[in-house]
Structure 1
Amino acid sequence: MARQILLVDAVATNRIVLKVKLAAAFYEVEQTISAAEALEQVRRKTPSAILIGGLGDASPVELCRQLRAIAATAHCPIVVMAAESDASARIAALEAGASSILDLPCCDALLLARLRALLRGHETEMELRMREGTHRALGLSEAPASFDRPARIGILAEERRGLAGRLRELRRMLPHRFEMMSPREVFHPLTGPLGRQAGTGPDVLVIALDADRAEVEMQILPDLRARTATRHAGVLVLAPDTTGPLAAAVLDLGADNVAPACASAAEIALRIDRLTTRRRMADRLRSTVQAGLRAAVTDPLTGLFNRRYALPHVTRIAERANRLMRPFAVMVADLDHFKKVNDTYGHAAGDAVLAEVARRLRDNLRAVDLVARIGGEEFLVVLPDASDRTAGDTAHRLCAAMSEAPFVIPGGEAPIRITISIGVMIAQPARDGGPAPEDLLRSADAALYEAKAQGRNQVELSRRPAA
């Protein structure tokens, strides 16, 4: 689907020229000539980005404020284009919600590079918001913390004295940690000042390019995106020229934003604050993805792994056992007469029993052992490097852990006794890969039924090979 750009400019010539440039880059362009038309348009259809030029009925700054007050465009990338933008005008636009300021005239490459950089960041933010909404609907997420730790801001400049004055002002304006850094300190954070504090790279990097060596110095940008310590850092580049191919190249090489080298401390502070917010949102996105993955393989009641995780893990254990020529044990455990618990005391009591069973299983197994809930009251236990004797001893210990201490249930007058039956299958190493995990479970399950038939609260070892 093509990205849609809303172009707002009262001058017809400007709109025509910009539409030709954007259409050549495969953007769909909608045009409006006033702030009023723009506000009406975004209520009908939300654009991917908005470009604001000269207006007759409002200032670009005022239109920015109005757009940010509308839910559909509250987070949309907005570029303010100005023929002359002094420091105070840029600060006013940024404070009003502009994502970027584009000084005119500028080359086509810079316009498109600005859009690409803004849309990359915007799409990350939208993905986060969508995932957070889904996780909230499923009850899997908590509200973001109201307190954020101070961000770590690295200032990278060959000529450090040129930023010294502004650095002092930045420290007064923002509650973050600022450190002057060399390229070596950036790429090896454990040896740098930020690394000594946190063991990680900076949250945001501000890179000041020297006018005579800018094309050489900006080659650090691809390396920043390729290194683990700096891959996700926000990057602001202070460039000697922000209207030509240099600024375009800086953005396409991986910078998130570019500002004039002479920018005031107030403007730099606004841009750093914007990048810090984006970095934190990206970190939350990655955390959300990891939480989703954990939820997909975890049983919510017991906190144990579920069947989706357990079977592939058994395959990995089997591969290791076959490589090292060591046996391993597969156990299927099932609570005895569990239906009576639910029928007599209710499902809340049954859930409490299952959670306590899971805890006792974990407490009586090694860290290397796998324990998973694979059915209603059925559990899977896998012991790497386990002989018949080791597996038998472990299974009897698990039975004792259930039967010897009664279970306290919510609302119950007295604790109740719960027992468990276990079927054990010893998987011998095989050069040909051996049986599939499902076959191992089937053999252990057959042994479980034999244990049940012999009176329950029993351990039965499978005497036949897996199918």
Structure 2
Amino acid sequence: MTARILVVDDVPANLKLIEARLSAEYFDVVCASTGVEALDICARAQCDIVLLDVMMPGMDGFEVCRRLKADPKTHHIPVVMISALDQPSDRLQGLEAGADDFLTKPVADVALFARVRSLTRLKMLGDELRLRAQTSRELGMSDALIAAVSDAGLNGRVLLVDDREGSSARIRSVLAASQTVEVETEPHEALFRAADGDYDVVIIALSLTNFDALRLCAQIHSLERTRMTPIVLIADPEQNARVLRGLEVGVNDYLMRPIEPNELIARVRTQVRRRRYTDQLRSNLQASMELAVTDGLTGLHNRRYMEMHLQSLLDQAVSRDRPLAALVVDIDFFKRVNDTHGHDAGDDVLREFSRRLRSSVRGIDLACRLGGEEFVVIMPETDAAVARLVAERIRSKAAEAGFAIAHGELMIDVTVSVGVSTFMGADDVPAALLKRADLALYRAKTAGRNQVVTDAASLRFSEAGSVGPPNEKGAPEGAHPQSRRGG
């Protein structure tokens, strides 16, 4: 797994040494000698991970890290601080600044490479979500996502898997002031609790009795519901090799015993923040997907969604030998509403009609806004007679009560016209089905509006009960659906 690593150090010899070590492992290396230079490289998205020295003139590593983590453009970039400082207070200061890890020089190659590869995997997962959830904003960030960047990582739900009572009690007491901790002493039950509990972090003791803790870590990350849940290992000093193996299987972080309380608090807070940030990315992704197939004004599905799913609905009708009907609905004299009362009033009418339309059809029916004042309803398991009844219900719901406009200060009457067609067998196609409903709608418009007309070919097909090629008999000579737009 390759990645572009930014190495930040004001000592040229250190830069060359780390660059050589990383390059030998086929990482792409970028170097910076000042904090300002590092911030610029990160802002231009030219690195995947930052290896950051602490003691630098001008702007030290702590300040660089704080700025990276406070900026929505760079918040997601993992930062590993590497320093000769070896006091717990120094490590804690780095973690509180937002660093993903704090390594003390000299750093063994195996430990450094394992950490870099682990963080690279995590960043790649986040980058995929970021790209998919990209919106029209320059940063691709919603207000909620920006809020997630500044989250303090407090009041998370933590599952602690530790079968040693004294150990679990100490860890729980340390975290009690900042997190809600639940303890599971039975490793066999931990996977089920993790899957059902919606935890922000899972902490696992590596020294579980008669149970492989790393297998539990792998199982947690193999489930869809817990794939993105951060895992923190608690290890004994002689288990360093097992910790490195844990990083390879997807563990997010680790602590060595004896545990320094403030470091435990800081590392768990970091993982809670990461989980919430990732959750917000996924939420944005879901919202973006919904926006892609939903009409923003009415909340109905849009034309793209209908075109994506109509063929599959027709295929189901063929395979199950079941009927299917289509309605094309148009609001009468809609242009007059816009011209007389303004486009805001027109939007009010569209929203209210969409609400009435949705209440008139079943959950399995596909109701879409085709565009402008035109709507389509696709109804599986529905023949021509039932489709006409539904169309009449839609028409009467529109006409039975006035539509409120101008913030409810004015009521206007609105009517709709509906064209009905039915699926005519394996030789039928979506475009023909909709065109027949469109032509029936044209007949409803020319006959005076505020009425329902069923396509004549669909009626004959329904009465005959046999499959035949679609046709458009019954439509007026020279009629074309485009000729009735706007009214």
TM-score by length of 2: 0.82
Tell me which residue corresponds to 2:215: 219
Tell me which residue corresponds to 2:9: 8
CA gap 1:98/1:336 in 2 versus in 1, 3 angstroms: closer
Maintained 8 Å contact 1:170/1:266: no
- After TM superposition, list the pairs within 5 Å mapping 1:105-144 onto structure 2: 105-122=106-123, 134=135, 141-143=142-144
Q: 1:203 aligns with which of 188, 200, 204?
A: 200
- After TM superposition, list the pairs within 5 Å mapping 1:59-138 onto structure 2: 62-69=60-67, 71=71, 76-82=77-83, 85-122=86-123, 134=135
Q: 2:295 aligns with which of 295, 299, 305?
A: 299
Tell me which residue corresponds to 2:448: 455
Maintained 8 Å contact 1:10/1:54: no
Q: Does 1:365 align with 2:356?
A: no
Q: Output the amino acid matched with 2:401.
A: A
Q: 1:445 aligns with which of 438, 445, 450?
A: 438
Distance 1:140 1:42 in 2: 23
1:405 Cα offset (Å): 1.6
Distance 1:104 1:158 in 2: 34
CA gap 1:349/1:304 in 2 versus in 1, 3 angstroms: same
1:347 Cα offset (Å): 1.1
Is the deviation greater in 258-267 or in 438-447?
Answer: 258-267
Q: 2:176 aligns with which of 171, 175, 178?
A: 171
- SS of structure 2 residue aligned to 1:374: strand
CA gap 1:220/1:243 in 2 versus in 1, 3 angstroms: closer
Distance 1:414 1:29 in 2: 67
Distance 2:162 2:408 in 1: 69
Tell me which residue corresponds to 1:422: 418
Maintained 8 Å contact 2:134/2:141: no
Distance 1:43 1:63 in 2: 11
Distance 2:190 2:205 in 1: 14
1:78 Cα offset (Å): 2.5
State the Cα deviation string for residues 224-255 of structure 1 (Å, max 9, x = none). 11113421211111222489543322111010
Q: 1:314 aligns with which of 310, 316, 319?
A: 310
Maintained 8 Å contact 1:10/1:55: no
- SS of structure 1 residue aligned to 2:412: coil
Tell me which residue corresponds to 1:186: 190
Q: Does 1:272 align with 2:268?
A: yes
Tell me which residue corresponds to 2:484: none
- SS of structure 1 residue aligned to 2:184: strand
CA gap 1:56/1:365 in 2 versus in 1, 3 angstroms: closer
- SS of structure 2 residue aligned to 1:263: coil
What residue ranges of structure 2 are gaps of 5+ in the alignment? 458-468, 472-487
Distance 1:342 1:56 in 2: 65
CA gap 1:84/1:414 in 2 versus in 1, 3 angstroms: closer
CA gap 1:436/1:446 in 2 versus in 1, 3 angstroms: same
Is the deviation greater in 79-88 or in 122-131?
Answer: 122-131
Is the deviation greater in 332-341 or in 162-171?
Answer: 162-171
Tell me which residue corresponds to 2:28: 28
CA gap 1:273/1:372 in 2 versus in 1, 3 angstroms: same
Is the deviation greater in 19-28 or in 249-258?
Answer: 19-28
1:49 Cα offset (Å): 2.9
Distance 1:4 1:89 in 2: 23
Distance 2:141 2:99 in 1: 33
1:86 Cα offset (Å): 4.5
Distance 1:56 1:65 in 2: 10
Q: Output the amino acid matched with 2:454.
A: L
TM-score by length of 1: 0.85
CA gap 1:138/1:277 in 2 versus in 1, 3 angstroms: closer
Distance 1:443 1:66 in 2: 65
State the Cα deviation string for residues 60-96 of structure 1 (Å, max 9, x = none). xx42224423657666433223467343332233223
Distance 2:99 2:239 in 1: 18
Query: Identical aligned pairs, as a percentage?
Result: 33
Q: 1:162 aligns with which of 167, 175, 179?
A: 167
Maintained 8 Å contact 1:65/1:96: yes
How many residues are treated as equivalent by the alignment? 448
Cα RMSD between the aligned structures? Answer: 3.3
Tell me which residue corresponds to 2:476: none
- SS of structure 2 residue aligned to 1:408: strand
1:17 Cα offset (Å): 3.5
Tell me which residue corresponds to 1:51: 51
What residue ranges of structure 1 are gaps of 5+ in the alignment? none
Distance 2:455 2:139 in 1: 41
Maintained 8 Å contact 2:325/2:422: yes
CA gap 1:52/1:413 in 2 versus in 1, 3 angstroms: closer
Distance 1:28 1:218 in 2: 30
Distance 1:350 1:19 in 2: 63
Is the deviation greater in 304-313 or in 45-54?
Answer: 45-54
State the Cα deviation string for residues 149-197 of structure 1 (Å, max 9, x = none). 932211112333323223212213x1323333433332212xxxx78xx
1:274 Cα offset (Å): 0.3
